[in-house]
Amino acid sequence: MILVTGDIHGFGTPDESARLSRKNKLCRELFASMDKEDYLVICGDFGLLWNGGASERWWLRWLEEKPYTTLFIDGNHENFAMLDALPAEEWHGGRIHRISDSILHLMRGELFEIEGRTFFTLGGAESHDKPYRIPGVSWWPEELPSEEELAHARETLDACGWQMDGILTHCLPTRLQREVFPGYSYPANALTDFLETLYDRADFSTWYAGHYHVSGKVTTDHRVHIIYQTLQLL
């Protein structure tokens, strides 16, 4: 079983109920039947590698003790200094950062085979609130993929013939951002332009993105979804 959500931004303080459990009955019903071979996928803004504080450590232990395995791609609100300091390793066909035994960061531009399906991952997004954040404390330029990371993503896509079952990102392609949020200042950049090429060329069934703090279907063919702190079966 694979469940997908997005933008959890951590869970708050340990005396709060977890946001996913509080918000979604599906969470309580399905989690009871899951084991470590089942997966919760978070589409960016994981938020539990941020400052290494006591609350953060508490929630990482809480997640590690859950019956499922947690997978996440990076969003824009991540501490990339902490994340990139972790060694990379191979897992299910792609590269990961291992936070703990069952909390894994799915790195950018990778293709993973999970439960017999293939998923292409490309995290990152541009923060529209970065003028109000502090570089190296609450904002990192690595929030957007480098030219090297985008080149690696293209190599991965060429190797699989641009065919996959699912796509997991934090932001949407440029065109879809403009269509879904007209008049809003989500910036176009090298990442969203790359994702537009991906959207036009790739043969895929389902695409999930976080970032926008709303949930819903984006395209009329129901292939592209945005998701925010709710759960869906993937």
- CATH number, domain with residue 82: 3.60.21
List pLDDT tens digits, range 60-83: 998 899 899 999 999 999 999 999
* pLDDT given for residue 176 in this prediction: 96
* pLDDT given for residue 119 in this prediction: 98
> Residue 23: is its pLDDT beyond 50?
no
For every residue of the chain, which 3-state class applies, written as one string?
CEEEECCCCCCCCCCCCCHHHHHCHHHHHHHCCCCCCCEEEEECCCCCCCCCCHHHHHHHHHHHCCCCEEEEECCCCCCHHHHHCCCEEEECCEEEEEEECCEEEECCCEEEEECCEEEEEECCCCCCCHHHCCECCCECHHHCCCHHHHHHHHHHHHHCCCECCEEEECCCCHHHHHHHCCCCCCCCCHHHHHHHHHHHHCECCEEEECCCCCCEECCCCCCEEECCCCCEEC
Distances (CA, A) of 146 to 43, 89, 152: 19, 20, 10
* pLDDT given for residue 231 in this prediction: 84
Could you give the CA distance from residue 207 to residue 135 in angstroms, rounded to a whole number?
31
The token duo for 194 is 């790359």
List pLDDT tens digits, range 183-229: 887 889 999 999 999 999 999 999 999 999 999 999 999 999 999 98
List pLDDT tens digits, range 139-154: 899 999 999 999 999 9
- Into how many domains does the chain fold? 1
pTM: 0.93
Residue 78: which domain range? 2-233
Could you give the CA distance from residue 161 to residue 19 in angstroms, rounded to a whole number?
38
Could you count the other beta carbons within 10 Å of the beta carbon of residue 192? Answer: 23
Question: What is the pLDDT confidence band of residue 16, given thresholds at 50, 70 and 90?
Answer: very low
